[in-house]
């Protein structure tokens, strides 16, 4: 399976007109396919497993912006701290504190988003809206992290009304807590990005739309 270049250009154009960033999700995809997009000028790629991310990062050009989009265990932060461009999935104070610690060790500042959980998602990761204010209040105590906004993930469903309900809740949270510096809103995947755009997403994470269904 290869990347659909025509679809990539169409998507890129569509998103650019709306000032929305595209992170191409490359989990399970080959180095060759990632390189194809790199040659076209694409730089932002997303992975959700630390091992896979590390091996791809080592094999591919150094100016790629790697986004970590999966659940991140604190004990694995050290493996990606030297190069990660943006961690989308901060969902606890422990994780945040570890990111800051590893950022200090690497003498850099690490960008992150807070992954939010909303009411209808029992199985999903992310921080609850009750815990959110406490986490946000702690951010200024850490000198080597840079909070850029929020991430949300919709349930896997074909029911548009469920997705809309969830995205509306994510947007409410984002609107309540976003600041001028932390106004990124990572929302939308292949199956729901068009809905996410209606809910003010400004960063979408797209894989299977470009590569075909993962096997
Ligand atoms: C896999 C994944 C995506 C992309 O999913 P597609 O349906 O392939 O577009 C986006 N976000 C996260 C967190 C993912 O794990």
What are 160's two structure tokens?
A: 């548009």
pLDDT of residue 118: 85
Q: Which atom of ligand 1 is nearest to the CA of 89?
A: 13
| Strands 145-152 and 110-115, sheet pairing | parallel
* Ligand 1 pocket, residues with Cβ under 6 angstroms: 25, 27, 48, 69-70, 153, 189-191, 205-209
Going from the Cα of 124 to the center of ligand 1, the distance in angstroms, rounded, reads 13
Given the structure tokens 């409410």, which residue do they identify? 172
pLDDT of residue 120: 63
Q: What are 81-132's pLDDT values in tens digits?
A: 999 999 999 999 999 999 999 999 999 999 999 999 986 656 678 999 999 9
pLDDT 10s per residue in the chain (215 long)?
689 999 999 999 999 999 999 999 999 999 999 999 999 999 999 999 999 999 999 999 999 999 999 999 999 999 999 999 999 999 999 999 999 999 999 999 999 999 999 866 566 789 999 999 999 999 999 999 999 999 999 998 999 999 999 999 999 999 999 999 999 999 999 999 999 999 999 999 999 999 998 76
Which of 117, 204, 207, 209 for a ligand 1 pocket mutation test, highest count of atoms within 8 Å of Cβ?
207
Residue 138 CA to residue 123 CA, distance in Å, equals 26
Which of 44, 114, 194, 205 for a ligand 1 pocket mutation test, highest count of atoms within 8 Å of Cβ?
205
Going from the Cα of 207 to the center of ligand 1, the distance in angstroms, rounded, reads 6
Residue 178 CA to residue 26 CA, distance in Å, equals 28
Going from the Cα of 34 to the center of ligand 1, the distance in angstroms, rounded, reads 15
Q: Which residues contact 56 (CB under 8 A, 6 or more apart)?
A: 26, 31, 34, 45, 47, 66
Which of 11, 25, 117, 188 for a ligand 1 pocket mutation test, highest count of atoms within 8 Å of Cβ?
25
């Amino acid at each position: 399976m290869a990347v659909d270049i025509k679809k990539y250009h169409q998507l890129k154009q569509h998103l650019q007109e709306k000032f929305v960033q595209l992170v191409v999700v490359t989990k399970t995809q080959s180095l060759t396919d990632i390189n194809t997009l790199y040659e076209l000028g694409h730089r932002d790629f997303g992975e959700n497993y630390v091992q896979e991310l590390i091996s791809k990062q080592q094999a591919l050009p150094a100016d790629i912006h790697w986004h970590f989009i999966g659940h991140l265990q604190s004990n694995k932060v050290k493996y990606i701290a030297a190069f990660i461009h943006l961690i989308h999935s901060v969902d606890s104070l422990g994780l945040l504190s570890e990111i800051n610690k590893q950022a200090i060790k690497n003498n850099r500042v690490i960008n992150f988003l807070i992954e939010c959980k909303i009411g209808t998602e029992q199985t999903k990761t992310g921080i609850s809206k009750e815990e959110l204010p406490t986490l946000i209040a702690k951010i200024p105590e850490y000198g080597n992290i840079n909070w850029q906004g929020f991430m949300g993930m919709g349930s896997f469903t074909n029911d548009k009304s469920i997705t809309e309900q969830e995205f509306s809740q994510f947007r409410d949270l984002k609107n309540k807590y976003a600041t001028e510096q932390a106004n990124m809103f990572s929302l939308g995947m292949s199956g729901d990005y068009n809905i996410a755009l209606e809910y003010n997403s400004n960063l979408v994470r797209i894989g299977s739309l470009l590569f075909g269904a993962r096997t």
